[in-house]
């Protein structure tokens, strides 16, 4: 870093995180620089000092917040694709990466390689990057490459998500026929789901090439697989402040291919739908798309059938009026209307092979949930206690009819709680605020079960016929990104745990494998020190003292367990000494103030997240269906309620193993189900 060198200076308070500057003078103690585009703006940065254990200080060669800049490429070099892969940059650090990606983005190039990893920047506009013609060019290049031929005459194609999809297909088609996985990660709104769909289109196109794309006059497998997206998105995506079409569940799609590389079908696994959204959503956000699609897209006949009366709303638009849909102001979406959304959803249903009656039953149930959310309660006195009474009986009737359940049992499910102690049931009449909780909990249960059932229906439609025909597969993972909100609860812990596990896989595969390869080839290689996060995973998942295992233990205590006790036991486990605020491995911490508020902090690979134990961790983990709700669902007239309830039970009950054979199935906690799913995924 001599005078005249170009460097990046970190500027945490400025508009730009890093400022391109030139070194003016260098001394043993500091570096003086000026901003290249504005030389009157100058910076001074001290040389880094490090304290040694013996108390002495050494000065490092580095200066604080300074990185060497790469030389700018000429237009000719760029045209040759010299900036396509960041691995080729002489200096690879945060400002170099941001500068390289930003510069390309300004030229309309949203994709950049970093070795085998593709970085995509969301353009937030539909660019002509995915046309049939471009797909064909990548397909041709991939084909020639796989045959050991270089596509003559054409320049190497630039980085593109099609290239990732192509590579996985060709690798899968190599003689060993090894199955592949594509991991797509990024923050909410980064473009994971869109990228997943682009990858799916590429792979399904290659997998159906040479066939006439029609199976016995039915909808082709490619179309069925692609059509699974709108229906899953209608029921599993919602508008959030960050993304109009935010996936509120994780998804792993496995595309199965024959030995000859033909697409045979797909298998979809979903993870942890965000059910709390049923009860409440923030201002500017929305509930699941399907509710708005139905309210805004229903024709007059449907409106009548589903009991949507514009006259009841006091002048409000239907979607703004209903409790389930109106809490955030029911904003429109940026890219398409809800009316159009309903059309896509219904088309998706038809393509799943549903007849009109089946589709109508599902839509009725959605309408029933909207009316369920409208049920109100008043407090009346009984034996000196305030108990709740439904104040709009006609809405109970309408909700019950549309859901296909018994009206009296529905009322009971909302106003009565049954406690079972040693086989004896005791009825407790609930006060109004508890009835509201029961109402929202019932909506969550029914919707959660409906979603699982829809995933099963989609799977039945897209799954391959015989497992033995499937020679290999490409899996695409579109998973919720790392989350950190002002208040973090059970959902964030599960999501961040997933990301922590994925990060480890990523470390293992990319860094560890790469280093082994370099060593084998005796290429000199500066070992990148990457942070290993196994210790953080241990804090979350290990038995018997991990955060989740201790949560399960607390849940086993039944009524005696509670969120605060659980937090206290975590403190005892991880920071047992007086005055200790950080666990020995520094992944778990809690200050005295945090402890007094039942909070704890986990230092994840992506940053610290403060969790609040008293946000219903135990209840969310148990996810129990109240006895009155069970009685309601078990006795329902509707085949759909019966079906979704069966699917829900199968998902949550422990499978009969030799040790528990004959005993009634025990319900698994959500964290147990989640851990198992994650283990299978890895
Ligand atoms: N390649 C792209 N071309 C054009 N628009 C895009 C592209 N990728 C994403 N978008 C736009 O950004 C929006 C958000 O993308 P997407 O839903 O894929 O994000 P996500 O990463 O899945 O977020 P979440 O974690 O919230 O589900 C899309 O609805 C679309 O408008
Ligand atoms: Mg998404």
Average pLDDT, stretch 430-453? 97
Q: Nearest 5°: CA angle at 564, between 250 and 274?
A: 15
Distance 288 CA to ligand 2 centre (A): 13
Over the stretch 278-295, which tens digit does the pLDDT of each residue have? Answer: 999 999 999 999 999 999
Reply yes or no on whether the pLDDT at 655 is more than 70: no
Ligand nearest to the CA of 483: 1
For position 656, what pLDDT does the model report? 43
Q: Is the CB of 194 under 6 A from ligand 1?
A: yes
Range with the poorest average pLDDT among 129-138, 329-338, 525-534: 525-534
Q: Which atom of ligand 1 is nearest to the CA of 194?
A: 18
Reply yes or no on whether the pLDDT at 574 is more than 90: yes
User: How high does pLDDT run on average in the chain?
Assistant: 92
- Assigned token pair, 64: 């604080």
Split at pLDDT 50, 70, 90, the class of 658 is: very low
Split at pLDDT 50, 70, 90, the class of 362 is: very high
Closest residue CA from atom 9 of ligand 1: 191
- Ion ligand 2 nearby residues (CB, 5 A): 192-193, 247
Answer left, alpha or beta for residue 407, where phi above 0 means left and psi between -120 and 50 means alpha.
Answer: alpha
Over the stretch 595-619, which tens digit does the pLDDT of each residue have? Answer: 999 999 999 998 999 999 999 999 9
For position 539, what pLDDT does the model report? 97
DSSP state of 657: -
For position 319, what pLDDT does the model report? 98
For position 434, what pLDDT does the model report? 95
Average pLDDT, stretch 220-239? 95
Active site residue ranges: 188-189, 193, 243, 246-247, 481, 483
Reply yes or no on whether the pLDDT at 153 is more than 50: no
Q: Is the CB of 201 under 6 A from ligand 1?
A: no
Spatial contact of 162 and 138, defined as CB atoms under 8 Å apart: yes
Round to whole Å and give the CA distance between 680 and 678. 5
CA distances from 256 to 207, 281, 469, 475 (A): 9, 37, 9, 9
Over the stretch 391-406, which tens digit does the pLDDT of each residue have? Answer: 999 999 999 999 999 9
Reply yes or no on whether the pLDDT at 204 is more than 50: yes
Split at pLDDT 50, 70, 90, the class of 213 is: low
Ligand nearest to the CA of 184: 1
Q: Is the CB of 249 under 6 A from ligand 1?
A: no
Higher pLDDT, 427 or 312: 427
For position 526, what pLDDT does the model report? 62
Q: Is the CB of 246 under 6 A from ligand 1?
A: yes
Distance 506 CA to ligand 2 centre (A): 20
The number of beta carbons lying within 10 Å of the beta carbon of residue 530 is 14
For position 387, what pLDDT does the model report? 97
Distance 74 CA to ligand 1 centre (A): 32
Strand order in the sheet with 180-184: 180-184, 472-478, 250-257, 263-271
Closest residue CA from atom 5 of ligand 1: 124
Tell me which of 164, 243, 498 to substitute to probe ligand 1's pocket, judged by most ligand atoms within 8 Å of the beta carbon.
243
Range with the poorest average pLDDT among 407-421, 475-489, 533-547: 475-489
Over the stretch 32-46, which tens digit does the pLDDT of each residue have? Answer: 999 999 999 999 999
Ranges of each domain in the chain: 1-69, 73-116, 490-615
For position 460, what pLDDT does the model report? 96
Distance 236 CA to ligand 1 centre (A): 15
Split at pLDDT 50, 70, 90, the class of 227 is: very high
For position 514, what pLDDT does the model report? 72
Three-state secondary structure of 541-561: HCCCCCHHHHHHHHHHCHHHC
Say whether pTM exceeds 0.85: yes
**Which residues contact residue 71 at a Cβ distance below 8 angstroms, ignoring those fewer than 6 apart?**
6, 90
Higher pLDDT, 674 or 161: 161
For position 664, what pLDDT does the model report? 53
For position 311, what pLDDT does the model report? 84
For position 510, what pLDDT does the model report? 75
Query: DSSP 3-state assignment of 126?
Result: coil
Average pLDDT, stretch 521-542? 80
Over the stretch 106-126, which tens digit does the pLDDT of each residue have? Answer: 999 999 999 889 999 999 999
Spatial contact of 266 and 470, defined as CB atoms under 8 Å apart: no
Spatial contact of 328 and 283, defined as CB atoms under 8 Å apart: yes
Average pLDDT, stretch 311-326? 94
Quickly count helices (H) and strands (E) in the chain.
26, 21
**Interhelix angle 432-462/639-652, nearest 10 degrees:** 90
Split at pLDDT 50, 70, 90, the class of 480 is: confident
Q: Which atom of ligand 1 is nearest to the CA of 198?
A: 1
Reply yes or no on whether the pLDDT at 330 is more than 70: yes
Looking only at the bridges linking them, the beta strands covering 385-390 and 599-604 are unpaired
For position 527, what pLDDT does the model report? 57
Split at pLDDT 50, 70, 90, the class of 680 is: confident
Query: DSSP 3-state assignment of 324?
Result: helix
The fold of the 490-615 domain, in CATH, is: Methane Monooxygenase Hydroxylase; Chain G, domain 1 (1.20.58)
Average pLDDT, stretch 546-564? 95
Distance 93 CA to ligand 1 centre (A): 26
């Amino acid at each position: 870093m001599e005078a005249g060198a170009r460097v990046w200076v970190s500027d945490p308070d400025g508009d730009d995180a890093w400022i391109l500057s030139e070194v003016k003078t260098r001394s043993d103690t500091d570096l003086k620089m000026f901003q290249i585009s504005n030389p009157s703006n100058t910076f001074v940065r001290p040389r880094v000092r490090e304290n040694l254990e013996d108390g002495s200080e050494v000065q490092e060669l580095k200066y604080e917040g300074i990185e060497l800049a790469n030389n700018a490429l000429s237009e000719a070099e760029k045209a040759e694709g010299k900036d396509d892969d960041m691995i080729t940059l002489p200096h690879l650090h945060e400002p170099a990466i941001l500068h390289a990606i930003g510069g390309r983005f300004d030229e309309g190039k949203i994709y950049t390689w970093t070795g085998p990893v593709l970085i995509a920047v969301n353009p937030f506009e539909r660019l002509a990057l995915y046309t049939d013609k471009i797909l064909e060019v990548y397909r041709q290049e991939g084909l020639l490459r796989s045959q050991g031929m270089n596509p003559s005459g054409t320049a190497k194609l630039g980085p593109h998500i099609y290239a990732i999809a192509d590579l996985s297909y060709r690798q899968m088609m190599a003689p060993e026929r090894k199955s592949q996985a594509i991991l797509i990660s990024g923050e909410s709104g980064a473009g994971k789901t869109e990228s997943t769909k682009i990858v799916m289109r590429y792979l399904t196109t290659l997998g159906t090439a040479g066939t006439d794309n029609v199976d016995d006059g039915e909808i082709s497998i490619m179309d069925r697989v692609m059509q699974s997206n709108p229906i899953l998105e209608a029921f599993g995506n919602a508008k959030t402040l960050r993304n109009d079409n935010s996936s509120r569940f994780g998804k792993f799609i496995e595309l199965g291919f024959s030995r000859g590389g033909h697409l045979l079908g797909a298998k979809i696994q979903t993870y942890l739908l965000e059910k709390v959204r049923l009860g409440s959503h923030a201002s500017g956000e929305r509930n699941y798309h399907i509710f708005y699609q139905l309210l805004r897209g229903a024709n007059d006949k449907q409106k009548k059938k589903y009991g949507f009366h514009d006259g009841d709303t006091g002048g409000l638009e239907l979607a703004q009026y209903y409790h389930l849909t109106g809490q955030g102001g029911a904003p429109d979406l940026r890219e398409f209307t809800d009316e159009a959304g309903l059309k896509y959803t219904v088309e998706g249903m038809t393509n799943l092979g549903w007849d009109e009656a089946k589709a109508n039953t599902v839509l009725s149930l959605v309408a029933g949930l909207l009316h369920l959310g409208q049920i109100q309660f008043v407090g009346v006195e009984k034996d000196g206690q305030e108990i709740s009474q439904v104040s709009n009986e006609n809405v109970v009737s309408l909700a019950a009819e549309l859901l296909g359940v018994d009206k009296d049992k529905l009322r009971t499910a909302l106003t009565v709680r049954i406690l079972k102690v040693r086989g004896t049931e005791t009825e407790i009449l609930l006060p109004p605020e508890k009835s509201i909780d029961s109402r929202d909990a019932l909506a969550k249960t029914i919707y959660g079960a409906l979603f699982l059932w829809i995933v099963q229906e989609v799977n039945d439609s897209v799954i391959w016929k015989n497992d033995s025909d499937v020679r290999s597969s490409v899996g695409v993972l579109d998973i919720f990104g790392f989350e950190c909100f002002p208040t973090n609860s059970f959902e964030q812990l599960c999501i961040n745990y997933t990301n922590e596990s994925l990060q480890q896989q990523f470390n293992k595969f990319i860094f560890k494998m790469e280093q082994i390869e370099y060593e084998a080839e005796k290429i000199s290689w500066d070992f990148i020190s990457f942070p290993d996060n196994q210790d953080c995973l241990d804090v979350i998942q290990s038995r018997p003292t991990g955060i989740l295992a201790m949560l399960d233990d607390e849940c086993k205590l039944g009524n005696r367990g509670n969120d605060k006790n659980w937090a206290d036991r975590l403190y005892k486990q991880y920071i047992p000494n007086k005055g200790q605020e950080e666990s020995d491995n520094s992944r778990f911490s809690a200050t005295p103030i945090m402890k007094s508020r039942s909070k704890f902090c986990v230092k994840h690979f992506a940053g610290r997240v403060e969790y609040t134990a008293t946000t219903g961790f135990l209840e969310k983990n148990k996810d129990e269906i109240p006895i009155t709700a069970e009685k309601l669902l078990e006795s329902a007239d509707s085949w759909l309620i019966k079906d979704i309830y069966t699917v829900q039970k199968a998902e949550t009950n422990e499978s009969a193993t030799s040790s528990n054979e004959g005993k009634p199935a025990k319900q698994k906690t959500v964290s147990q189900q989640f851990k198992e799913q994650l283990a299978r995924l890895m």
